[in-house]
């Protein structure tokens, strides 16, 4: 993409944000990869190193061996990477500070939007959050740090309240998305006037339905992704570039337009 074409698109997207009243940002793995977190499906990602069958909810709940293996992986850091937010995360957080963000809907499970400064109540995590652990019996939720401390003495930690099975609070294969989060995401998608996709190929469902809901309700669509997506033809603007570099430029223009 030529610089002049990029500048034109950046200006166009910035103007769309300034004009909009209800901006929803939707993020996928392409945002996390810029913080050094491999895409699950890419070389070096989770599925190139581990058997996806070991990450089904059915196997986790029924097999003590599977739970022991996963907790060992957690203790070794195989499933957790202590990453920092990148330019894209900080740019999205800046949109909130500028009053130009209704919410973030994310497919990512790394907690980096919150770490960058987005309000917890404005981030809807469709696939959960690996920084939290949930009891499958009493629904008690606690930070991963509390469990990591116990893993030095316990191979398979259980809930201190009810002794139920503990599980990382990310959505496993065969597990339904968190219903309230999904409902909220659908609501905001259908009630925004600008929907911005950042770093998603829009092929994982039901998350990928969100931009469709937005467009069907009359919202304008912007897609920022390295490769094409099935929704490109519906977008007002498509930018095939790295998320961080583009979002920094867009937010700079937004800030400039709001202050002029």
Examine the domain organization and report whether 157 and 242 are in the same domain: no
Beta bridge partners, 23, equal 194
Mean pLDDT of all residues in 19-27:
98
Select which of 89, 90, 113, 127 is catalytic: 127
Lowest-pLDDT choice from 172-176, 194-198, 240-244? 172-176
Query: For position 122, what pLDDT does the model report?
Result: 98
CA nearest neighbour of 241 among 223, 225, 229, 221: 225
Examine the domain organization and report whether 112 and 217 are in the same domain: yes
Examine the domain organization and report whether 118 and 136 are in the same domain: no
Examine the domain organization and report whether 205 and 258 are in the same domain: yes
Mean pLDDT of all residues in 201-217:
95
Query: For position 35, what pLDDT does the model report?
Result: 86
Mean pLDDT of all residues in 7-23:
97
Which among 105, 138, 170 is the end of a domain?
Answer: 170
Examine the domain organization and report whether 181 and 194 are in the same domain: yes
pTM of the model: 0.91
The helix (run of H) or strand (run of E) holding residue 46 is: helix 46-49
Instruction: List pLDDT tens digits, range 138-166.
Output: 999 999 999 988 988 889 999 999 999 99
CATH of the domain at 160: 3.30.1600.10
Examine the domain organization and report whether 196 and 120 are in the same domain: yes
Examine the domain organization and report whether 42 and 32 are in the same domain: no
Which among 170, 201, 223 is the end of a domain?
Answer: 170
**To the nearest whole number, what is the mean pLDDT of the chain?**
91
Buried b (16+ CB within 10 A) or exposed e, 42-57: eeeebeeebeeebbbe
Query: For position 156, what pLDDT does the model report?
Result: 93
Examine the domain organization and report whether 219 and 255 are in the same domain: yes
Which among 146, 170, 194 is the end of a domain?
Answer: 170
State yes or no: is 127 an active-site residue.
yes
Examine the domain organization and report whether 182 and 165 are in the same domain: no
Give yes or no for residue 258 having a pLDDT over 70: yes
Q: Please give the tally of structural domains in the chain.
A: 2
CB under 8 A, 24+ apart: contacts of 78-83: 78/49, 78/50, 79/46, 79/130, 79/168, 80/130, 80/144, 81/36, 81/37, 81/110, 83/32, 83/35, 83/36, 83/37, 83/110, 83/112
pLDDT band per the 50, 70, 90 thresholds, residue 260: confident
CATH of the domain at 244: 3.40.50.1220
Examine the domain organization and report whether 140 and 232 are in the same domain: no
Indicate the Cα dihedral angle 40, 43, 49, 55, nearest 10°: 20
Examine the domain organization and report whether 241 and 114 are in the same domain: yes
Examine the domain organization and report whether 158 and 50 are in the same domain: yes
Range of the domain at 5: 1-37+85-127+177-260
């Amino acid at each position: 993409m030529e610089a002049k074409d990029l500048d034109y698109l950046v200006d166009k997207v910035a103007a769309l944000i300034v004009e909009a009243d209800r901006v929803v940002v939707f993020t996928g793995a392409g945002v996390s990869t810029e913080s050094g977190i491999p895409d699950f499906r890419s070389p070096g990602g989770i599925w190139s190193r581990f058997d996806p069958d070991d990450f089904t909810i059915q196997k986790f709940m029924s097999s003590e061996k599977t739970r022991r293996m996963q907790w060992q992986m957690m203790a070794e850091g195989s499933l957790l990477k202590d990453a920092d937010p990148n330019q894209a995360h900080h740019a999205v957080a800046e949109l909130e500070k500028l009053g130009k963000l209704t919410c973030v809907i994310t497919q990512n499970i790394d907690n980096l939007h919150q770490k960058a400064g987005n309000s917890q109540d404005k981030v809807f995590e469709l696939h959960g959050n690996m920084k939290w652990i949930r009891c499958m019996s009493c629904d008690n939720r606690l930070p991963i740090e509390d469990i990591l401390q116990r893993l030095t003495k316990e191979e398979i930690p259980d809930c201190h309240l009810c002794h139920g099975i503990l599980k990382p609070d990310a959505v496993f294969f065969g597990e339904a998305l968190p219903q309230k989060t999904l409902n909220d995401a659908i609501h905001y998608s259908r009630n925004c006037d600008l929907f911005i996709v950042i770093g998603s190929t829009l092929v994982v469902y039901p998350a990928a339905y969100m931009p469709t809901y937005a467009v069907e309700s009359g919202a304008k669509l912007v897609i920022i992704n390295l490769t094409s997506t099935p929704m490109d033809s519906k977008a007002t603007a498509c930018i095939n570039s790295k998320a961080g570099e583009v979002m920094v430029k867009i937010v700079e223009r937004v800030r400039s337009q709001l202050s002029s």
